[in-house]
Amino acid sequence: MISCEQFSTLISIFKSDSFFRLTPCQEKALDILQRQGNVFLTGAAGTGKSFLLDHYLRGKSPEDFPIVASTGAAAVIVGGRTFHSFFGLGIMEGGLEATVIRAMRSKKLMRRLQRACCIVIDEVSMLSGTTLRAAETIARVARRSPEPWGGLRIIAVGDFAQLPPITPGGMDKDWAFLHEVWRESEFTPALLTTVMRTQDTSFLEILNFVREGIVNDRVRTFLDERTKQSSGDEEGTRLYPHRALADQYNLQRLEQIEEPVHTFPTEYIGEGKYIDAAKRALPIPDTLLLKRGALIMMRKNDASGEYRYVNGSLGHIRSFSEDALSVHLLSGEDIEVVREKFSSLDGDGNEVVAAWNFPVTLAWATTIHKAQGASLDRMIVDLHQLWEPGQAYVALSRVRSGAGLRIERWSTGSIRAEKLVTAFYDSLSDKAEKYQPKPFFEPATQTIDEEPKTKKASLSQKERLRRTRQLLADGAGLSLIAEACSVTQSTVLNYIEKLVAVGDAPSLMYLIDDVPEVDRIRSLYEEHGFQFMKPVFEALDGRLSYDQLKLARIVMTANA
């Protein structure tokens, strides 16, 4: 016989992280994470990317291994900082060069990039290639090293089949994996293939078809069997593509409950400018409206370590007090929920906003985007007229099993996959099969007062020419190219001249946007000959330098 105390201890061990075994693909991925080189940790929805990452980072310093996320909402979930704030990108006003130059003025930014030894980028699929290039350039400058990312180790996490990069309307998606910076980073793929969110094998097969944009007889039958007109009284969360529709439906259902409404304002601590941004990122509303009987969704994992619920668990409000909610989960368990803190961090990892409220939201409806990261017990979704490849897959993969899924409408055109993404993952699978283990990763950090511990390689002229062409294609200016290649601007002009001579130069017209009297310079060159700069210099009374005149000549001859 064991005592009650011993029994409680056994239960705690059973529910602890150490009890849960990694799947074979997670074990292989963990081995890759522990070895040298940059890593791309990826896999379908529900394969345990976040779980494995938590396992790897346990006990590691957030200064040495900072976590950054592509959006504020993702940053709150992973307890990290936004990618843009960490790398000092802002809104990238003025383009790549202006962004890098602004970032270089921040000693704090330079210090944290020199202090870090490995950066984890969560939801990397939402970052454009241009954004990734800006951060990589800043890292090289900060660490005074020509190596990719200045020698920093990068662990990129995400699934390009789910969330696409944020791209201005009408423009082609600037996929990070198609950008030169991705190739230079030489990511080792760590592929997770075993879905942990559901053990419903038939549902998994359907999800895989939808992920690839395939609508065959099995997919049609599966979706048709779960499609019926909504009666309005089903228990489950409806997913909408737009937030306004989700908010409207939640309030409508709340009003139908003949109970007093209880109002719980979120308490914010921090400066106003940070609070405004935090409100857009936090998973809880500014004011939480609840009634007894309301359907709610948990917006955090169980912090007690008992795994009673996860982000996405559904339940009904049973009763209220000022400091606690009594909730009956759909899983059958009764829990008490207290107010918890949600944090928003700045680029240095300092908490700039603390928001306190119950970690729940009304759950009759939410958006496909807001459901990202959640595991829903029951779900009702409209799959008609979705506009983004991967949206249907993201929506369907939120629910734990096919038994908990109800579909209002669906159309074949809504189930689409991005062909570029499919081709990318095909090549990734081939690369993963050829993986050879590298030596184990040994963190090496540095401070602002130290010389970089990363070996400072000497660039060949061939490499400098390649970098010059790459930065020109990215729209960089002479000062940034000179910094990246560790040469003078005059030498950069020579490199550009060589590229023009061999016909390998991208468009250069932007380089002379800020050069005054361009038309006058052109006419003087045409008068005196493009091989002579001195008469042009004298005709302009020395108002422009020889480097400016040489740049103008290069661009004009390249576009002649």
CATH of the domain at 520: 1.10.10.1390
CA pair distance 168, 422, nearest whole angstrom:
23
Residues 6+ apart with CB under 8 A from 434: none
Q: What is the pLDDT of residue 229?
A: 66
Report residue 494 as tokens. 């020579």
Instruction: Return the top range by mean pLDDT from 245-254, 299-308, 335-344, 365-374.
Output: 245-254
Give the Cα separation of 195 and 202 in Å (integer). Answer: 12
Residue 351 and residue 257 share a domain: yes
d(CA 100, CA 165): 21
In a domain, 76, yes or no: yes
By DSSP bridging, strand 334-338 and strand 324-329 are antiparallel
**Tokens standing for 456?**
């400072």
In-domain check, residue 396 = yes
Q: Which of 61-65, 302-306, 408-412 has the lowest mean pLDDT?
A: 302-306
Q: Which tens digit of pLDDT belongs to each residue from 83-93?
A: 988 898 887 87
Whether 382 and 524 share a structural domain? no
Q: What is the DSSP letter of 266?
A: P
Question: Which tokens go with 325?
Answer: 């909610």
Structural domain contains residue 91: yes
Q: Which residues, other chains included, contact 139 with Cβ-Cβ below 8 Å and sequence gap of 6+?
A: 87, 113, 149, 150, 152
The answer to whether residue 360 scores a pLDDT higher than 50 is yes
Reported as a pLDDT band with limits 50, 70 and 90, residue 7 is very low
Q: 395 and 485: one domain?
A: no
Give the model's confidence band at 235: pLDDT under 50 very low, under 70 low, under 90 confident, else very high.
confident
Residues 284-296, mean pLDDT to the nearest whole number: 93
Position 448 scores a pLDDT of 44
Residue 261 has pLDDT above 60, yes or no: yes
Tokens found for residue 97:
């060069």
Backbone phi and psi for residue 453, each to the nearest 5 degrees, phi listed first: -80, -15
Are 88 and 96 contacting, i.e. CB atoms less than 8 angstroms apart? no
What mean pLDDT do residues 527-532 have?
81
pLDDT band at 14 (very low <50, low <70, confident <90, very high): very low
Residue 411 counted as domain residue: yes
What is the Cα–Cα distance from 417 to 512, expressed in whole angstroms? Answer: 41
User: pLDDT tier at 3 (50, 70, 90 boundaries)?
Assistant: very low
- Portion of the chain with pLDDT greater than 90, in percent: 25
258 — pLDDT class (breaks 50, 70, 90): very high
Out of 159-168, 312-321, 539-548, pick the least confident.
Answer: 159-168
Asked if the structure places residue 422 within a domain, the reply is: no
Residue at 69 is within a domain: yes
pLDDT at 547: 85
- Among residues 169, 69, 182, which one has the least CA distance to residue 130? 182
Query: Which pLDDT score is estimated for 267?
Result: 93
Task: Look at the alpha carbons of 453, 458, 462, 464 in this order and tell me if their dihedral is positive or negative.
Answer: positive
pLDDT, average across residues 413-429 = 89
Q: What are phi and psi of 276, to 5 degrees?
A: -60, -45
Q: Report the side by side order of strands in the sheet with 188-192.
A: 81-82, 67-69, 118-122, 153-157, 39-43, 188-192
Residues 268 and 186 both lie in one domain: no
Confidence of residue 11 (pLDDT cuts 50, 70, 90): very low
Alpha carbon distances (Å) from 231 to 106, 314, 382, 409? 57, 19, 14, 13
**Interval 166-188 mean pLDDT:** 84
29-33, 346-350, 380-384: range with highest mean pLDDT: 29-33
The mean per-residue pLDDT over the stretch 223-235 comes to: 77
pLDDT above 90 for 351: no
Task: For residue range 143-172, list pLDDT tens digits in order.
Answer: 888 889 999 999 999 989 887 787 665 567
Query: Tokens in use for 60?
Result: 């590691």
Q: Are 76 and 153 contained in the same domain?
A: yes
CA distance 274 to 285: 16
Provide DSSP, 105-120. Answer: T-HHHHHHHHH-SEEE
Does a structural domain hold residue 525?
yes
pLDDT confidence of residue 34: 93
The answer to whether residues 57 and 114 belong to one domain is: yes
Domain ranges, residue 494? 461-558
Q: Please give the mean pLDDT across all residues of the chain.
A: 83
CA–CA dist 557, 173 (Å, integer): 33
Per-residue model confidence (pLDDT) at position 170: 55
So what's the pLDDT on residue 377?
81
Residue 214, domain member (yes or no): no
Asked whether 49 and 160 are in contact (CB, 8 A), the reply is: no
Which region among 58-67, 113-122, 248-257, 372-381 has the lowest average model confidence (pLDDT)? 372-381
The pLDDT, as a whole number, for residue 318 is 94
Do 410 and 505 lie in one domain? The reply is no
DSSP β-bridge partners for residue 290: 262
Say yes or no: 380 and 475 in one domain. no
Residues 302 and 392 reside in one and the same domain: yes
CA 401 to CA 336: how far, in whole Å?
A: 26
- Distance from C-alpha of 16 to C-alpha of 307, rounded to nearest angstrom: 9
Q: Are residues 332 and 400 in the same domain?
A: yes
Most confident of 178-182, 404-408, 486-490: 178-182
The answer on pLDDT for 231 being more than 80 is: no
Domain count, the chain: 3
Q: How confident is the model over 209-230, as a mean pLDDT?
A: 89
In the predicted model, is pLDDT for residue 387 greater than 80? no
Q: At what angle do helices 49-57 and 24-33 cross, to 10 degrees?
A: 40
Confidence of residue 464 (pLDDT cuts 50, 70, 90): confident
The CA angle 171-172-177, to the nearest 5 degrees, is: 135
- pLDDT value for 37: 93
CATH code where residue 151 lies? 3.40.50.300
**In this predicted structure, what is the pLDDT of residue 92?**
81
Assess whether 288 and 396 both reside in one domain.
yes
Same domain, 254 and 349: yes
Helix (H), strand (E) at residue 298: strand 295-298
Residue 115 or 446, more confident: 115
Q: Which run of H or E residues covers position 316?
A: strand 314-320
pLDDT digits (tens, 9 = 90+) for 55-71: 899 888 888 999 998 87
Q: Is the pLDDT of residue 9 over 50?
A: no
Helix (H) / strand (E) containing 295: strand 295-298
pLDDT for res 78 = 64
Query: Is residue 304 very low, low, confident or very high in pLDDT (cuts 50, 70, 90)?
Result: low
Q: In b/e form, how buried is each residue of 231-243, taking b as 16+ CB within 10 angstroms?
A: eeeeebbbbbbee
pLDDT, tens only, 490-521: 888 888 888 888 888 888 988 888 888 888 99
